Amino acid sequence: MTTPLQPPPKKDPQKRSTAPTRPPEMRSRAAMHLTAAAAEGRFALQCCLECGAVQYPPRDACSSCLSTDFEWRDMPPGGTLLAETTVHASPRLFYRERMPWRAGTVQLDAGPTVLAHIHEDIAAHGRVRIEARLDQAGQGVLLALPETPTPHQEDAPLMRALSADPKHRRILITDARSPHTPALAKALQDAGAAMIFAGEPESWRPYPGRAALDALGVEVLPMDVTDTASVQKLAGEIGGKTDILINTAQMLRPGGVLERGDTAFARDEIEVNYLGLMRLAQAFGPGMCARVSDGVNSAAAWVNLLSVSAMTNAQPFGVHSASQAGAYSLSQSLRAEFRPSGLRVMNLFFGPTEADDWYQPLPPPKVTTNALARAVVDGLQRGLEDVWCGDIAQDIRERFRRDPKVLEREMTMGGDGP
Amino acid sequence: MSPLASFAAGIASGTIRVVDLTHTLDPDFPVIILPPEFGQCARFRMEEISAYDHRGPAWKWHNISMSEHTGTHFDAPSHWISGRDVPNGSVDEIDPAAFVGPVCVIDCSDGAAQDDDFELTVDGITAWEQEYGRIPTAAWVLMRTDWSKRRGAAYLNMREDGPHSPGPTPDAIRFLIEQRDIRGFGTETVGTDAGQGSHYTPPYPAHYYLHGAGKYGLQCLNALDELPATGAVLVAAPLKIKNGTGSPLRVLALVEDT
């Protein structure tokens, strides 16, 4: 069993905060597919389409038949620890600060032998379960976990480095008025979050979720993502102890370009969904980036809740979809800008939700607030970059992967006349 | 001394006080809330262009944005469907002489303190006239409720059946227009109509009758308790917005100390 992680003591104000350091980032283009799968929490390896060999590490040609035709397939996670070492000396700052570090080779049930980070609870030659995770350089690495979970296994330093676990962390949910905020706050509390803040725009307007937030003990503080000064003010107050930021601010109205007839709601959508994200990042981003190695409650992740219409325009929400595409692109810029610090950006893509009034005329399946909250917590605990929440989001992701143009054509049908 | 010279002397000596009836344009100041399917009133927003920094080393300035009907603001006749064909009905067309005039203040603060939905009625107006004299032609009539002292959620006072705040009855507003030929009507609440004004016939009677008759509105006024019932002069000049239906503005009252 792992020694349970204790809530961190208050910081010594005379000590300099540890600057973030990172494991090596460079990978071959072939190896990037491992990262792409890990970003979604999948463990995939390179499979030769000619001879069927599964190979590791990834290469440009098959080591059995020299074919260059590959497919990345999800692998069964089982394996056995073959050989291991514990690193006590390293020229790499990231590892020097975290030694001793356990690494080893695992014989996969699927065939290949892989190099993996080894959890402390695995016995020599023991059975393991392999997960692909993103490390603090944002690259896919393999993690060997005990075959059956051990008590507090998620508290191991290795696990903290390969996740953005909300346990003992302080979390800002940016919009208290979002119908998802109470369920999200509850799920984060259940996952061990130390403190939850929620930004409240327009306190002069009552809303049903406020009582639930008060009952949960959420610290509700004024902030409106469309008001730069209010965002800067809250960042000034709590930016130094925001470990995870979850952006729930969302402006949504139905309608395409012609149906809308004006640009007023589109401007509001851009103000909240795109510029709001930008204001939050400008105010909270630098402080969070500086605190990625700041102990148990270090800054860990930035979470955006995006409609899956960010990936392909979805009627009857055509104009809103454009704001989501803009926010998605901005989140990619944030990934690049946060990369040097190791601060993660997790995008949670969701289909129509039960809680949002504007999706009321749409048929099921719809995402419940509880499912969405669970997906956020699970994504943080596994350190994911992309989470697809609900049947519709997963369907769009699958069709996008197969052929974005086919998906676009299917999503933009004109309908046959009489 | 000429009238203007004696006026200037009065300001300089303090026998004429300038009272500010304007709320600060603040991003968090409430605006009217309509059902979400309708277009919405933009809140006041301010973005820095530069602040003595790399974006402009020696100067600070902001871009601002808002609705014509944000904060303490003026309603022109073209704001309402009843006033759409009124000549010179937009803020840029109104004779600037209309922006300066006498003001009567009807104190409804006791009633409003008892009842969030307090109504200004014809009886209320005539009772006021018995005490202070007949409302002169072309006067501003302001309904004092001390609502401007409310903060946060108490200002709109929004409940599940909509906002609750005082305002005039349809008959009262028609009386002021038809019998007293006022210049306009002003309130300390978010609109010239009561919070529940959509339930009158016609809905929003102050807007409907005032603007249909070419009269003006002032709302979100501040500190009406600092004005005398009669005798003050109001200076309320909206921005000269082309085809504007209203405008945020600085409303000043000139009050002579007697």
Per-residue pLDDT tens digits for A336-352: 999 999 999 999 999 99
Domain boundary among A158, A188, A208: A158
CB B77 within 8 A of CB B244: no
Distance from CA of A173 to the nearest CA of B (A): 20
Instruction: Please list the rounded mean pLDDT of every run of 10 residues in chain B (258 residues).
Output: 96 97 97 93 97 97 98 98 97 98 98 98 98 98 98 96 97 98 98 97 98 98 98 98 98 93
Rounded Cα gap, residues A39 and A137, in angstroms = 12
Quick one: A223 and A79 in the same domain? no
User: H or E stretch including A181?
Assistant: helix A181-190
Token pair belonging to A106: 């695992």
Domain that holds residue A255: 170-411
* A130, A158, A186 - which closes a domain: A158
Map out the domains of chain B as residue ranges.
3-256
- Cβ separation B27–A227 shorter than 8 A: yes
Does residue A224 sit at the B interface (CB-CB below 8 Å)? Answer: yes
Could you tell me if A207 and A136 lie in one domain?
Answer: no
Whether residue A353 sits in one domain with residue A241: yes
Confirm whether A20 is domain-assigned: no
Identify any residues that bridge with A345 across adjacent strands, giving them in sequence order.
A302
- On whether the CB atoms of residues B216 and B141 are closer than 8 A, the answer is no
Which residues of B are tagged catalytic? 79
pLDDT number for residue A418: 73
Burial (CB < 10 A; 0-12, 13-18, 19+), residue A145, is: buried
Contacts with A357 from chain B: Cβ below 8 Å: 36
Does residue B251 sit at the A interface (CB-CB below 8 Å)? no
CA distance A205 to chain B (A): 6
The answer to whether the peptide bond before residue B202 is cis (omega within 30 degrees of 0) is: yes
Q: What is the pLDDT of residue A415?
A: 83
Does A395 touch chain B if contact means CB atoms closer than 8 Å?
A: no
**Boundary (domain end) residue, out of A158, A183, A200:** A158
Task: Tell me which of B28, B48, B50, B158 to substitute to probe the interface with A (most A C-beta atoms closer than 10 Å).
Answer: B28
Residues 44-83 of B with CB under 8 A from A: 45-48
From start to end of A185-279, where are the E strands? Answer: 195-200, 219-222, 244-247
**Which ranges in chain B belong to alpha helices (H)?**
3-13, 109-114, 122-132, 153-156, 170-178, 205-212
Q: Which fold has domain B3-256?
A: Glucose Oxidase; domain 1 (3.50.30)
Domain count, chain A: 2
List the one residue out of A309, A331, A329, A330 whose CA is nearest residue A321: A309
A205 touching B, CB under 8 A?
yes
Distance CA A375, CA B199 (A): 45
A194 and A306 housed in the same domain: yes
Distance CA A411, CA A407 (A): 6
> What pLDDT, on a 0 to 100 scale, did the predictor assign at position B196?
97
Helix, coil or strand: residue B114? helix
Question: Which of B27, B43, B155 is facing A229, going by the closest CB pair?
Answer: B27
- If one counts every other C-beta atom within 10 angstroms of the C-beta of residue B241, the result is 14
Nearest to A238 by CA among A202, A201, A209, A198: A198
Same domain, A44 and A132: yes
Which residues are paired to A344 by β-bridges? A301
With residue A54 as reference, give the H or E element that holds it. strand A54-55
For residues A176 and A149, membership in a common domain is answered with no
The reported pLDDT for the residue numbered A238 is 98
Counting as low any pLDDT under 70, the low residues of chain A are: none
Which domain CATH number covers A287? 3.40.50.720
Are A146 and A122 a contacting pair, CB within 8 Å?
yes
What's the confidence (pLDDT) of residue A320?
98
Question: How far apart, in whole angstroms, are the C-alpha atoms of residue A177 and residue A175?
Answer: 5
CB contact at 8 A, B29 and B222: no
Interchain CB distance below 8 Å, B45 and A268: no
Residue A13 forms part of a structural domain:
no
How close does chain B come to A268, measured CA to CA in Å?
A: 9
Closest Cβ–Cβ partner in A203, A230, A262 for B27 = A230
DSSP code for A152: T
Q: How far is A305 from chain B (nearest CA, A)?
A: 22
Name the residue among B141, B212, B143, B221 with its Cα closest to residue B183. B141
Whether A191 is in a domain gets the answer yes
CB atoms within 10 A of CB B86: 18
Check A224 against B27: CB less than 8 A apart: yes
Angle at B158 between CA B156 and CA B164, to 5 degrees: 75
Q: Which DSSP letter does residue B157 get?
A: T
B96 touches chain A (CB under 8 A): no
Q: Are residues A315 and A395 in the same domain?
A: yes
What are the chain B neighbours of A224 within 8 Å (beta carbons)? 27-28
Cβ distance of B43 and A229 shorter than 8 Å: no
Tens of pLDDT, residue by residue over A278-317, are 999 999 999 999 999 999 999 999 999 999 999 999 999 9
Shared domain check, A355 and A237: yes
A12 contacts chain B (CB < 8 A): no
Domain identity same for A92 and A138: yes
Is the same domain home to A134 and A266?
A: no
**What is the C-alpha radius of gyration for chain A, rounded to an integer number of angstroms?**
22
Regarding whether A399 and A319 lie in a shared domain, the answer is: yes
Chain A residues whose CB is inside 8 A of the B153 CB are 203-206
* A324 contact B CB<8A: no
Measured between CA atoms, the residue of chain A closest to residue B155 is A204
Please indicate whether, in this complex, the C-beta atoms of B28 and A206 are within 8 angstroms of each other: no
Contact A224 B28 (CB under 8 A): yes
Size of interface A-B (CB pairs under 8 A): 44
- Residue in this structure with the two tokens 């005082």, named with its chain if needed: B166
CA dist list (Å): A276 to A228, A247, B58: 8, 9, 28
Same domain for A329 and A390, yes or no, is yes
In a domain, A392, yes or no: yes
